[in-house]
């Protein structure tokens, strides 16, 4: 539908009008031209790559549309809206620009070359063994969940009015077994595949999914809930096309739920309950401009993270800190019996400080990492997407979901190298491949 010339022209015209409105709005706030011009350039790039990829693939969700969210936030971060923000150093400006260019270049190479798949040296499991394996993972996750809840002392979902719940959840010590808990974010998608393979009945799929959903809701982790949403949406879309309007409606509902969950997470104190969500965000994020709730979220959970990344890069250059691949090798190092705090100093931890995904490749390999790793991110994500839309196997449902998640979370931290993502890949490969 969007490929029709008059519709495409109308959409471009509407986007340009919106861009002009936003630039005038931010100029009225006192934002200078050296803030507005980069914002405009990045926004135009995000819109251009989005429209191109939708027309090219006839798919609303693809690697470029998801990555355009990061590009937009990168542009928005040039607007100094929060007192926590600062102007970027030249090094960091090059990191942002080269990362985006390299990711897009990797995506384009994958678009124009053959689609490949890693060969599986293990015999595929039978339907019965696949179900048995996933049920084993499921039951193990329930066991770990019960252990962690006993350690905490209560069910978090029953204490939403307690302002300290989220803090206590973060302080509750967990082991690597916690990955068996958060794998429940993708298990429903795998159970849906088994339902389509007629390995389980629909009511069994609903029951298993309900339990998984209950488990992940108890941790108030919006990133895990986002992964649950992505994986289920991608799983359903594999078997039945979702109209674009309905897809946008689902996205709008999820944004509302995201905001509501954030409000519940921060509620409990009299001061927080008496403030609107937007006022709370502005107060918490030291936002000094008359932002709406979307702009407040973009500032607090996006622009501020870019400033954090700039600080980490600046300190690493000052201290001549070079990590030589330890962040890229995080999935392997996580399994080793070593002191992680000594390997990943807090001062340079973009994961702990939320310094965007840009930092780790630079810390590992400097400019080679910025260009090379971003190229690979774009290449592999686009290849996975192509396998998915060509219906080359149900395995690509969860694989593509994980790539969507990692790309979508780029403004927060680098999930491409997190152990739990690698663990989910392994579970998916054993059960579904």
Is the Cβ–Cβ distance between 213 and 224 less than 8 Å? no
pLDDT of 266 > 70? The answer is no
Q: What is the rounded CA–CA span in Å between residue 302 and residue 76? A: 8
Average pLDDT in the 175-183 region? 89
pLDDT of 166 > 80? The answer is no
pLDDT value, residue 151: 87
114: tokens are 């053959």
What proportion of the chain, given as a percentage, has pLDDT over 90?
66
pLDDT value, residue 369: 96
Q: What is the rounded CA–CA span in Å between residue 140 and residue 182? A: 11
Average pLDDT in the 318-327 region? 94
Of the pLDDT bands very low, low, confident and very high (cuts 50, 70, 90), residue 379 is: very high
Q: Is residue 71 helix, strand or coil? A: helix
Per-residue pLDDT tens over the stretch 190-219: 999 999 999 999 999 999 999 999 999 888
Per-residue pLDDT tens over the stretch 71-81: 999 999 999 99
Of the pLDDT bands very low, low, confident and very high (cuts 50, 70, 90), residue 400 is: very high
419: tokens are 């152990």
Is the Cβ–Cβ distance between 399 and 385 less than 8 Å? no
Complete DSSP assignment for 278-326: HHHHHHHTTB-S---HHHHHHIIIIIHHHHHHHHHHHHHHHTT---TTT
Rg of the chain's alpha carbons, rounded to an integer?
22
What proportion of the chain, given as a percentage, has pLDDT over 70?
90
Per-residue pLDDT tens over the stretch 113-161: 888 887 666 677 888 999 999 999 999 999 999 998 888 877 887 776 5
Per-residue pLDDT tens over the stretch 48-72: 999 999 999 988 899 999 999 999 9
* Cβ burial 89-125 (10 Å sphere, 16+ → b, else e): eebbeebbebbbbbbbbbbeebbeeeeeeeeeeeeeb
Shortest CA distance to 134 belongs to which of 186, 206, 201, 65?
186
Per-residue pLDDT tens over the stretch 409-428: 999 999 999 999 999 999 99
pLDDT value, residue 272: 52
Task: Extract long-range pairs of 261-268: CB within 8 Å, 24+ residues apart.
Answer: 261/220, 261/222, 261/225, 262/222, 264/160, 264/220, 265/165, 265/166, 265/220, 266/163, 266/166, 267/160, 267/161, 267/163, 268/161, 268/162, 268/163, 268/164, 268/165
Residue-averaged pLDDT of the chain:
89
Of the pLDDT bands very low, low, confident and very high (cuts 50, 70, 90), residue 25 is: very high
pLDDT value, residue 384: 96
Of the pLDDT bands very low, low, confident and very high (cuts 50, 70, 90), residue 164 is: low
């Amino acid at each position: 539908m969007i490929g029709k010339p008059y519709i495409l022209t109308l959409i471009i015209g509407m986007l340009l009008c919106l861009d002009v409105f936003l630039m005038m709005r931010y100029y009225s706030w006192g934002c200078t031209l050296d803030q507005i011009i980069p914002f405009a350039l990045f926004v135009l790039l995000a819109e251009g790559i989005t429209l191109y990829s939708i027309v090219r693939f006839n798919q609303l969700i693809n690697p470029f549309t998801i990555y355009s969210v990061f590009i937009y936030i990168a542009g928005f971060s040039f607007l100094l809206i929060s007192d926590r923000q600062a102007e970027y150093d030249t090094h960091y400006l090059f990191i942002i620009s080269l990362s985006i260019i390299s990711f897009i270049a990797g995506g384009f190479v994958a678009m124009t070359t053959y689609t490949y798949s890693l060969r599986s040296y293990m015999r595929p499991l039978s339907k019965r063994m696949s179900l048995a394996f996933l049920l084993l993972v499921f039951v193990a996750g329930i066991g770990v969940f019960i252990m962690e809840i006993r350690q905490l002392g209560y069910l978090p979902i029953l204490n939403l009015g307690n302002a300290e719940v989220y803090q206590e959840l973060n302080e509750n010590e967990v082991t690597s077994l916690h990955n068996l808990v958060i794998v429940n974010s993708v298990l429903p998608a795998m159970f849906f595949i088994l339902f389509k393979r007629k390995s389980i009945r629909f009511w069994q799929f609903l029951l298993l999914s309900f339990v998984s959903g209950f488990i992940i809701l108890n941790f108030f982790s919006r990133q895990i809930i986002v992964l649950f949403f992505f994986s289920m949406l991608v799983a359903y879309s594999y078997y039945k096309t979702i109209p674009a309007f309905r897809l946008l409606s689902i996205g709008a509902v999820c944004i509302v739920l995201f905001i509501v969950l954030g409000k519940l997470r921060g509620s409990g104190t009299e001061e927080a309950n008496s403030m609107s969500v937007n006022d709370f965000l502005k107060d918490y994020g030291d936002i000094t401009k008359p932002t709406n709730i979307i702009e407040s979220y973009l500032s607090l959970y996006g622009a501020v993270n870019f400033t954090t990344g700039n600080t980490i890069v600046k300190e690493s250059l000052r201290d001549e800190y070079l990590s030589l691949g330890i962040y890229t090798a995080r999935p392997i190092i996580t399994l080793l019996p070593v002191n992680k705090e000594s390997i990943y100093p807090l001062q340079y931890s973009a994961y702990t400080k939320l310094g965007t995904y840009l930092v780790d490749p630079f810390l590992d390999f400097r400019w080679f990492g910025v260009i090379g790793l971003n190229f690979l991110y774009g290449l592999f994500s686009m290849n996975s997407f192509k396998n998915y839309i060509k219906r080359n196997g149900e395995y690509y449902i969860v694989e593509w979901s994980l790539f969507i998640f990692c790309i979508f979370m780029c403004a927060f931290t680098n999930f491409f190298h997190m152990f739990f993502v690698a663990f989910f890949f392994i579970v998916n490969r054993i059960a579904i491949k």
